[in-house]
Amino acid sequence: MAGIMMGAYALGIGAAAVVVWLAVHRRRGDAARAGIRPVLHAARRRAVIAVVFSTIVFIAGALVGIAIPEMLGQSFAVTPLIAGAAGMLLYSATPPRQIVLRADEPRAAQLVPRSALSAVPSRWATGFLVTTVAFIALVVFCGMTADLDEQGRSRTIGFESEEVSSWSSPYPGWFYGVPVLIALVVLVACTAIALQRISATPAFPRPADAVLDQLWRRRSVEVILKLGIGAILFSLGGIAATAGMAMGNAVIAGSTPILWSVMSGVLWISGAVALVLSIVSVTLAGLTAVTIGEAATRMESVR
């Protein structure tokens, strides 16, 4: 089942890549002044590379999981989070490009201090936070409802009645939950590093370009948050769908409380929805990346 899910997700990523490619080839020509244009190009390139690199790491991790079945699917749960973190680390490690001024040209400093949260849009920040909290809640729920398999690993779920017992595996207990929580911490840390990297980049030297400077920062932050949300949603979706299927297989008809059957369906459906939304989020990250500077250059052309 994991292989089918990964194949479907790969097709979704391929479709997303086509959408992003079409967006790139339909972009308007840049109209910003020569001094700003290279900086905007560099910001755009940096964000696109981060999204592409995350996708490559994700595919590599998925192939490792398929090639090493002894991992029992741990790679499928952890890889999306690690892939997102890898893209953000590469983004943070890429040096910024600064505007070159003539020796006699003044550089004006902005008096308003910036922080890692200065350019963070509240909508996407809220989405990132809600997704993270939902992910943690799901992992804790699955860990607390899981049972041990014959080798003492928390990866099964079972129900018992007076006459019969029913067990199903794999179930995302702590055997999967602990690694993904560690990977989530890594992703959140890399997100904070990337946001700090964006805020620490020197501002445009001319006061007249302050609005343009804020625009490219905001778009770059959106790329990071959308990429992070997509990574969390994929892992969340996989865990929820797997939990729902295992729970449904273990339910004993006529004996297990109906609540567990309802929970099984809710988890399966919500998992499928989360997987679709993860593709949407990563696609939006790519679209935002390739259009960094577009709003700025259009504003400049109107002036």
189-222: buried (b, 16+ CB within 10 Å) or exposed (e) per residue?
ebbebbbebbbebebbbbeebeebbbbbbbbbbb
More confident residue, 113 or 41: 41
Residue 108 confidence (pLDDT): 53
Mean pLDDT, residues 138-163 taken together: 87
Q: Computed over its alpha carbons, how large is the radius of gyration of the chain?
A: 23
Highest mean pLDDT among 27-36, 162-171, 181-190, 249-258: 181-190
Q: Is the pLDDT of residue 290 over 80?
A: yes
Q: Compute the 3-state secondary structure of the chain and give helix, strand, coil in percent, each to the nearest 5.
A: 70, 5, 25
Task: Give residue 203's pLDDT.
Answer: 67
Find, among 46, 36, 39, 40, the residue nearest to 197 by Cα.
46
In tens, the pLDDT along 58-96 reads: 888 888 888 887 777 788 889 999 999 999 999 988 877
Q: What is the predicted pLDDT for the residue at 164?
A: 82
| pLDDT, tens digit (0-9, with 9 covering 90-100), for 159-214 | 887 778 888 888 998 999 999 999 999 999 999 999 988 887 776 666 666 677 77
**For a pLDDT cut of 90, what percent of the chain falls above it?**
33
Q: In what order do the strands lie in the sheet with 154-160?
A: 147-148, 154-160, 165-168
Please say whether the beta carbons of 146 and 155 come within 8 A: yes
pLDDT exceeds cutoff 50 at 38: yes
Strands (DSSP E) found in the chain: 147-148, 154-160, 165-168
Angle (CA) 230 247 62, round 5°: 35
| 47-60: pLDDT as tens digits | 889 998 998 998 88
The mean pLDDT of the chain is: 80
Name the residue with higher pLDDT: 29 or 134: 134
The pLDDT of residue 300 is: 41
At 273 the pLDDT is 94
Residue 299, pLDDT above cutoff 60: no
Q: What is the pLDDT of residue 29?
A: 46
What average pLDDT does range 109-121 have in this prediction?
Answer: 61
> Across-strand partners of 156?
147
pLDDT for 209-240, tens place per residue?
A: 667 777 888 888 999 999 999 999 999 999 99
User: Is residue 16 very low, low, confident or very high in pLDDT (cuts 50, 70, 90)?
Assistant: low
Q: What is the pLDDT of residue 189?
A: 96
The better pLDDT of the pair 76, 132 is held by: 132
> For the whole model, what pTM was predicted?
0.83
Quote the pLDDT of residue 278.
92
Residue 280 has pLDDT above 70, yes or no: yes
List all residues 6 or more positions away from 213 whose beta carbon is below 8 Å from its beta carbon: 203, 204
What is the separation of C-alpha 38 from the centre of its chain, rounded to a whole number of angstroms?
A: 28
Give percent above pLDDT 70 in the chain: 74
Average pLDDT over residues 21-45: 62
